[in-house]
Structure 1
Amino acid sequence: MTYPQLNRRHVLQAIGATGAVAVAGCLGGDAQGSSTDGNEPAAEDDGLPAAKSVDVERIARDPTDIPEPVDWDEPREHDVTIRTERVTAEIEPGVTFEYMTFEGQVPGPMLRVRRGDRVNLTFDVPDDLNMAAHNMDFHAVYGPGGGANATTIAPGDDPAQLSFTADYAGVFIYHCAIPNMDQHISSGMFGSILVEPEDGLPEVDNEFYLGQHEIYTDGDLGEKGHHGFDFDAMLKEEPTYVVFNGQAYGFTPDGGVPMEATTGETARVYFANGGPNLLSSWHAIGNVWSRFYRDGDLLTAPDRNVETAPVAPGTTAAAEMEFPVPGPVKIVDHALTRAARRGALGIIDVTGEPTRDIYDENP
């Protein structure tokens, strides 16, 4: 195993000066184990195949791509169509991978409804860019497989139809649940459905949507080229990458576009841990979760001023924070090797003047 060369600037940006001290001394196929699902050759001993051309410029879903808050007070119906799409994209620059997705990005689109609303779902697995059967298991749905039984279809089949009432208020995960569900979730097939309580949610200035998952590949961390899927690594629960929204460091200055907020504002972050295997120790460096909705529970009074919270695979959480002073707030998995080396970090870039005299870098 080779390790990526991390310079001081990279690590400082990744986990902040305090966290960097702890790691400074370290700087300097198919179910039988073939790559992908039998459609790509295994990597040769002399290295990976060359990186492939990408189908999408950016696999990471924009964390602000969230439906508007519920503003209705009577049940209504929602007609929703979700299509699966298999796309090649970069995990990080020069490293390509074939993702399985709902609607072309990771995580799948957030659905937002009010408790008591009716959702009429059309689920489609088109012929093009799909090579396996898929379905959708909604943890918010009462019914066989959370809807997975009714939505299991193969490429080119007629779209599946499903109608359900959103009876449970909360934030819930959905994911593909065919027999190879662990591979499909690892490859990007998960998302969230937000079912607001009848009285709605407290108003905030910003909302962000993040999904963590592990990617198991037949290449080394940071190795340039096209990475196939590695079932052996998944069985050992030894991921190559642990990322937010499908991309390593996708919401940092180096890796893409940071999230943004202004001093004096508030934010709510919806966080889904797709897994398929690892618990996330969800933490905000330089802030706390001032109100934490554990396990996506929106009915119980939230926990207050939480530093680090476990989010199990197949679980969501929601959390709110304030921004009294400017500066980067780093959202990480506090299993810090994942943040410093494997990609599980995103930054909220907070600008503006301090709103309170609580922090001074130059006293």
Structure 2
Amino acid sequence: MSHTTQTGRRQFLTTVGLGGAALLSGCVSAPAAQTNDVDEPSDAGPSTEAAAASLDPAKPVDVDRVAADPTAVPDPIDRDEPRELEFTLTAEEVTAEIEPGVTFDYMTYDGQIPGPMLRVREGDRVRLRFEVPADENELPHNVDSHAIYGPGGGAEATTLAPGDDAAVIEFTASYPGVHIYHCAVPNMDVHISSGMFGAVIVEPKEGLPEVDRELYFGQHELYTTGEVGEEGHHAFDREAMENEEPTYVVFNGEPYAFTADGYGPVTVQRDETVRVYFANGGPNKISSWHPIGNVWARLYRDGDVLSEPARNVETTPVAPGTVTAAEMETPVPGPIKIVDHALSRAGRRGALGVVQVEGEENPDVYDEDA
């Protein structure tokens, strides 16, 4: 496709406006909602027959899961000079299960939520390639990175319709921090809600403090035509989104994905320092981010890695469109429940994951048999 034709399509797509364009509808098949205790069990019950009859049957799924592996974090940067780096992000619309028996049409980068973490150093020259394959997408997509100086954070130049030639932009990673990237086409709130967001780490020239382990989670809201746990295909509910009334509030695309009832908790070892990167895609809700049974020993508010971190913070707000980083110490074994402390979201809508600390008991710090 010629550059002139692509530019014309991009201009058309960017002038459609939030009120136009098709909305995402999707479905994933799953049984009734799991019970996940925070301070007490959730009582989210099964749906009624009348409610169940309102949904289409669950769709066949394209992928087994959309939840990104929280341990899939690029290695810290260990060099003293800038380099030229190249990354490719691919838009993929997929049907997957929100939970067993419940399907939904997600929008993703590289088939996962959150999208792959990109890690660079201050001063690096970054070449970003973006693709929207025709066989995997029905809608236009783009990339708006908060790590980029430039129109729309790169969104204008990367806006593609399915089947367009790949877009390629270059930028210099000018300001250190942890930043979000997301889709920013018309109906961007639908695209982000449906999973199109991720994180970019721009390490300062001197690097980040060394830790034993790093993890990566992303929170967002799912607005659907069904109730929590209601079997069938859940289409996107635009009215619910505009009213900011989510069906699910999830980490990594699925409720309770990283618990014993999901893919299992994330395991770490006693006496490790664990840094967690937490991207809030939103599109609407502030997260009250808290580790139950722990504190954020060092908190890099809003992804600010240049200021001195705050110390021993129990709960911190993470606004939509923000990536926050924080570190935990792990002196005793047992589960650390990472939650949105708006606890109805954690106990009833899915915003809970477990980091399981393994190792010897440490009664000097905590003794449950005293």
TM-score by length of 1: 0.90
- Deviation of the 1:274 alpha carbon: 0.2
Q: Distance in 1 between matches of 2:361 and 2:260?
A: 22
| 1:53 correspondence with 2:53 | no
Aligned residue in 2 for 1:141 = 148
| 1:188 correspondence with 2:195 | yes
Tell me the amino acid that sits aligned with residue 233 of structure 1: A
Unaligned runs of 5+ in 1: 29-42
| 1:339 correspondence with 2:338 | no
Please list, as runs of the form range in 1=range in 2, the aligned pairs for 1:35-54 lying within 5 A after superposition: 46-54=53-61
Q: Distance in 2 between matches of 1:105 and 1:49?
A: 25
Aligned residue in 2 for 1:328 = 335
Please list, as runs of the form range in 1=range in 2, the aligned pairs for 1:1-363 lying within 5 A after superposition: 10-11=35-36, 14-15=37-38, 19-20=39-40, 46-355=53-362, 357-363=364-370
Q: Distance in 2 between matches of 1:98 and 1:5?
A: 19
Equivalent residues of 2:281, 2:321 under 8 A apart? yes
Tell me the amino acid that sits aligned with residue 246 of structure 2: P
Equivalent residues of 1:216, 1:234 under 8 A apart? yes
Provide runs of 4+ in structure 1 moved above 3 Å.
4-7
SS at match of 1:250: coil
Aligned residue in 2 for 1:37 = none
Unaligned runs of 5+ in 2: 1-30
Q: Distance in 2 between matches of 1:129 and 1:336?
A: 36
Change (3 A) 1:53 1:310: same
> Alignment RMSD, CA only?
1.8
Change (3 A) 1:49 1:5: closer
Tell me the amino acid that sits aligned with residue 206 of structure 2: D
Equivalent residues of 1:264, 1:355 under 8 A apart? no
- Deviation of the 1:47 alpha carbon: 2.4
- Deviation of the 1:50 alpha carbon: 1.1
Q: Distance in 2 between matches of 1:275 and 1:90?
A: 20
Equivalent residues of 1:123, 1:161 under 8 A apart? yes
Aligned residue in 2 for 1:31 = none
TM-score by length of 2: 0.88
Q: Distance in 1 between matches of 2:320 and 2:103?
A: 25
Q: Distance in 2 between matches of 1:136 and 1:44?
A: 37
- Deviation of the 1:256 alpha carbon: 1.4
Q: Distance in 1 between matches of 2:363 and 2:335?
A: 17
- Deviation of the 1:147 alpha carbon: 0.4
